[in-house]
Structure 1
């Protein structure tokens, strides 16, 4: 059990370091003006048009690094710094989120699979931690509650791993479009690629951290069964 706690601490530290590096990269590239002078909103609209997508709206949302694509209402939501920004960072983020819109428009299988899990996980996540906690407390009596909790957590872990190809593919689509259309110089393209790579690494760390936690819960469940 001490080993499991140590692994958890290690992943927590790694996650903090990757998140810090991501923010520092975006802060750095936010100071680099895009040569073509387009804003994040204009980049997003151009990428959508170039891919024949005309039913997706580009909106501004509050917060920092709150950018996301919502397939439910077909909106590309960009934080204010990205929406109004005319930097390499703004272009990279805007193009990445439009990469998800392109995935949606082309019925990208991994995005469809991920989206199909959202309704179930949104409900399960509200109860999962309480079920797991109750399962641990009742483990000496019955393993059933913890087994249910582990199954729910396994679903969230699967979701985090399914997210990886979705995020990497969106970045690849964004960078390919940036290069193909020439909206960024080769140097700017290199910086955009670097920023998106660090963003993707946060998802990798999150997925591995979720897997480590799942294995810890499984070890508790198996240990409880052996003691019966």
Structure 2
């Protein structure tokens, strides 16, 4: 767990460092994050998705519910390599949605169950640990709910990697960035993807920890 925590902190620090670095590199063609997003959506014939600005840093996301590409303030108006990479990545999710990408559909289908699991999971696990000497059932239920969130985090990985692949392919095909800028964009998206990898591994490590408590309690019966 300590190793996972340290790795997560390192990846988050590296991501922010890369984002700051590439945010200072102006895109040669002068397009803003908003313009890159709108251009990519238009190229894919997607006309029902809006590109809007959202508060915060690294809060960029695609919302399939209202079909909006939400770009953070540091991306929406910025004309940097980092902004282009992030904007294209989020539009990659919009393309996934428009083309019914199977892993995105699977991930979206899990959201309702996941929202319920996340709301009660920690309380059920806590109660389960306290009641282990009486019955393992509450903890088993909590572990099952946590397993659902862990599965969700692993399903997220191919969705994120595919969005980055689509973004970089489009940037290259349309000549949005120079070869050097393309390399920077690829590097930025690589570190962004690693945050999801570390999160998934952290979730798996926590799940195994709870499973060990459950199995240990059952053996002591």
Deviation by residue 1:157-201 (Cα, 9 ceiling, x = unmatched): 000000000000000000000000001000000000000000000
Task: Pick which of 154-163 and 119-128 moved more.
Answer: 119-128
Residue 146 (structure 1) aligns with: 139
- Distance in 1 between the 2:42 and 2:82 partners? 21
Q: CA deviation at 1:220?
A: 0.5
Q: Aligned match of 1:101 in 94, 102, 107?
A: 94
CA distance in structure 2 between the aligned counterparts of 1:191 and 1:217, rounded to whole angstroms: 40
What does the per-residue CA deviation read over 1:83-137, in whole Å, with 9 as the maximum and x for residues that have no partner? 0000000000000000000000000000000000111111210110000011001
Map Cα deviations across residues 51-98 of structure 1 (whole Å, 9 max, x no partner). Answer: 110000000000000000000010000001100000000000000000
Q: Which residue among 31, 54, 62 is the counterpart of 2:55?
A: 62
Q: Which residue of 2 aligns with 1:18?
A: 11
Root-mean-square deviation (CA, aligned residues, Å) is 0.4
- Give the match for residue 173 of structure 1: 166
Which runs of 5 or more residues in structure 1 are unaligned? Answer: 1-7
- What residue number does 2:113 align with? 120
Distance 1:14 1:87 in 2: 28
Aligned length: 221
Structure 1 runs of 4+ off > 2 angstroms? none
Aligned equivalent of 1:51, options 26, 29, 44: 44
Taking the TM superposition and a 5 Å limit, the aligned residue runs for 1:55-94 are 55-94=48-87
Partner SS state of residue 58, structure 1: strand
Aligned counterparts of 1:189 and 1:27: Cα–Cα separation in 2 = 16
2:183 corresponds to 1:198 = no
Return the alpha-carbon distance in structure 2 between the equivalents of residues 87 and 100 of structure 1: 21
Matched position secondary structure for 1:112: helix
Inter-partner Cα distance in structure 2 for 1:213 and 1:162: 17
Q: What is the distance in 2 between the residues matched to 1:70 and 1:119?
A: 15
Map of 2:20 onto structure 1? 27
What does residue 5 of structure 1 align with?
Answer: none
Q: Distance in 2 between matches of 1:70 and 1:106?
A: 15
Alignment of 1:221 onto 2:214 = yes
- 2:69 alignment partner, SS class: strand
- Determine helix, strand or coil for the equivalent of 2:97: helix
Q: TM-score, normalised by structure 2?
A: 0.99
1:42 shift after superposition: 0.3
